[in-house]
Structure formats: C-alpha cells, structure tokens
Amino acid sequence: MAGHDRGSEGPALNYHHLHYFWAVAHEGSVAGAVTRLGVAQATISEQLRELERALGVPLLVRRGRTLALTEQGHVVLRYADEIFSLGRDLVSAARTRIEGRPLRFTIGVADSLPKVTATRLLQPALALGPLWRVAVRTAPTPRLVADLAADAVDLVIADAPMPAGSRVRAYNHLLGESPIAVFAASRLAASLSPGFPRSLHRAPMLMPAEGSPLRRHVDAWCQAHAIEPDVVAEVDDMALLQLLGHDGVGAFCAPSVVTDEIERTFDVRALGRLRGARERFYAVSTERRIRHPAVLAIADAARARLAAARRPRGR
C-alpha cells in the first residue's frame, strides 16, 4: 500500500513561532515581547521570519519604533487569540477534572432583557450537569461586555449586539428573533381585545425605559401605525413592569417566545402580536466560532426555541 503523502498537506504550523508572533502583536514591538517572554530579541525576530515563510505572507511592518500588523497579520492574530484562549481553557479543564472541582461558567444577562425570557435562554446551561457550576450576573450590556474582556464573565446574553467599533475583542452571535406581543390583565384585556391593535390608541400602557431595544421597537411600531398609547409609567425593570401589568395598571409588551410563561406567571392574557415588530437576541462571546460546550448548549436551544416562536399563534 502506498504511504500517505504528508507533503500534500503543506507545511505544519509551528505553534511556538505563532506564540512569539502573538506576543509581539499584543506588545507592539519585539522589545516588549522580549520582556514578556524572557527570550533573546534575535530569537524572536528569527522565529517571526520563520512563521512568515511558513505562511507565505507578511505579518508585520515597521512604523516608526513600533510594529504594525498587515491585513494578513490581523487575520492570523484573530486565529492566534482563539487558539491560545482554547489552550488556556484546556489546561483549566484538565486541572479541574483532576482536582474534582466543577468548571465555573459565568453568564452575564443584560438587565434590559425580560427576566422570563432570560430564564428560558439560561435553562440549557443550568442542565449541563455536575461538571459545570453556573453563575449569573445582571447588569447593563456595556458593563457586561467590559467584564467579558476582563475574563470576569464567559458569555453575555443581550437583546442588542455589541456596538460596531467596540474596542473589546468579542463577537456577536445571533440567537434568533421573536415577534413582540401585547399583554394585559383580564379586565383590561377584555376592553382592548375588540379592534386590536387599533385599540391600543390612547390605551394605558407600561413602557420599558427609553433607549432599551424593546422600547425602540415598540415606539417604531406605534409611530408607523399612528398609534399613541397613554404611557402611564416607564419602568427599567421588566419584572416590575410585568407585575404592574398583573395589577391592571396598563398593557405591556414582551417577546412572544415566552407567551405561555408570562400568562402563567403574571396571570395576564396575550392580546396579540405587533405585526412586523421583532426583538432580536444575541450571545456575545470571545469565540469567533462557538466551541465552548455551555455556549453551544445555550445557542442551539435558543435558536430552536426562537425559530418555533416565529410560527403564527392566535392573532
């Protein structure tokens, strides 16, 4: 039998060379990498040249006293960041299994996300088993993204993507979208059901805080349909807003993906959906391609759930 032609695969990547390039790219100079790695400058320079020869592209160019990444260098650095991050995770996981301790996985949940929705999206992570210990933090999205950059959280679940141009090296993963539904306590729902959604004009409404993604979607829908509800309160805590809805203070909006849970938890009725109004949900992580088992569990389950929510229900 003929031997396997390893040469057809091309030259093998030397990860030692890649680590030196990674250090130089983050330090901005060979001298900085020398201090960080504790090796001779000539050694780093030679291994950078070896890496460029192996890849067949220039990775760094000199600009004054510093080194700058070429276009190809930026691509290689993104892969290097991911490779060495996975390496750190591997070491941590191996040590944890040896010591018999569960792996800690910290999830940041945007405080603008309805708590019932967040609960549904978190369930797959909570069902991962004894190997994982899940911690959940709630805060504004910008603070959570900063925590992600500082390795204080492993994943952020939000109702808006990380802004373009952010200095944080992280990636938005769209989980899916959900139509927006309107809910109200039984007595108010009975008066608003006839003629819905036109019945929302001048109707008492509880609104999320201005600037929140859900508020922007609802405001845009109202403007497009010439509907001006009577905003009786603006509430930045969605759980409190829904409790006020339970008390009959006003109708309120929430993603239809959790219609059953909202009706059951707050004893309210869904009037119907705002046609064309949708809310999107994102997982923000440091992985360009999701590999972490806990993140995969959340993302896969959320996408299936949100895809099902797009099917028409009722009105």
Q: Output the DSSP codes for 156-200.
A: EEESSPPPTT-SS--EEEEEEEEEEEEEE-HHHHHHHSTTTTGGG
Topology at the third CATH level for domain 102-315:
D-Maltodextrin-Binding Protein; domain 2 (3.40.190)
Bond into 142 cis (ω within 30): no
Q: Is the pLDDT of residue 313 over 80?
A: no
Q: Among 48-57, 60-69, 200-209, which is the least confidently predicted range?
A: 60-69
Architecture of domain 10-94: Orthogonal Bundle (1.10)
Is residue 315 over pLDDT 60? no
| 78, two tokens | 């993104």
Measuring CA to CA, how many Å separate 234 from each of 50, 209, 242? 61, 5, 12
Where do the structural domains in the chain lie, given as residue ranges?
10-94, 102-315
Instruction: Return d(Cα 236, Cα 216) in angstroms, integer.
Output: 13
| The model's pTM | 0.63
Q: How far apart are CA 226 and CA 36, in angstroms?
A: 61
Report the pLDDT value the prediction gives residue 100, as an integer from 0 to 100. Answer: 55
C-alpha triplet 31, 36, 37: angle, nearest 5°: 95
Task: Assess contact for 104 and 151: CB atoms under 8 A.
Answer: no
Cβ(296)–Cβ(290) below 8 Å = yes
Q: Which amino acid is at 196?
A: F
- Chain-centroid distance, C-alpha 221: 25
Local structure of residue 258 (DSSP, 8 states)? G
- The Cα-based distances of 269 to 7, 83, 152, 232, 242 in angstroms read 67, 49, 39, 19, 12
pLDDT band for 97, please (50, 70, 90 cuts). low
pLDDT of residue 45: 87
Q: Are 251 and 271 in contact (CB under 8 A)?
A: yes
Residues 6 or more apart in contact with residue 59 via CB below 8 angstroms: 21, 48, 51, 52, 69, 70, 72, 73, 76
Q: What is the pLDDT of residues 16-61, one digit of tens each?
A: 888 888 888 888 888 887 877 777 888 888 888 888 888 889 988 8
Helices (H), 2-138: 15-27, 30-37, 41-55, 71-99, 115-126
> Which pLDDT band holds residue 250 (cuts at 50, 70, 90)?
very high
Please tell me the predicted confidence (pLDDT) of residue 310: 60
Please choose, from the candidates 138, 96, 104, 143, the residue with its C-alpha nearest in 3D space to the C-alpha of residue 121.
138
Find the mean pLDDT for residues 145-157: 85
Q: Is the pLDDT of residue 303 over 50?
A: yes
HSE, side-chain direction, 13 A CA sphere, residue 298: 33
* Structure confidence at residue 311 as a pLDDT band (50, 70, 90): low
Cα 205 to Cα 232: distance, rounded to the nearest angstrom: 6
Q: For a pLDDT cut of 70, what percent of the chain falls above it?
A: 87
Average pLDDT over residues 304-310: 71
Hey, which of 69-78, 202-211, 294-303 has the most confident mean pLDDT?
202-211
The separation between CA 174 and the C-alpha centre of its own chain, rounded to angstroms, equals 7
- The pLDDT of residue 239 is 87
Q: In the predicted model, what is the mean pLDDT of residues 150-173? A: 82
Mean pLDDT, residues 137-160 taken together: 86
More confident residue, 134 or 246: 246
| Per-residue pLDDT at 276 | 92
For tokens 């933090």, name the residue.
Answer: 137
Q: How confident is the prediction for the chain on average, in pLDDT?
A: 83
Output 100-103 pairs: Cβ under 8 A, ≥24 positions apart: 102/130, 102/131, 102/132, 102/133, 103/131, 103/132, 103/133
What pLDDT is stored for residue 189 in this prediction? Answer: 96
Q: Which residues, other chains included, contact 151 with Cβ-Cβ below 8 Å and sequence gap of 6+?
A: none
Residues 88-97, mean pLDDT to the nearest whole number: 63
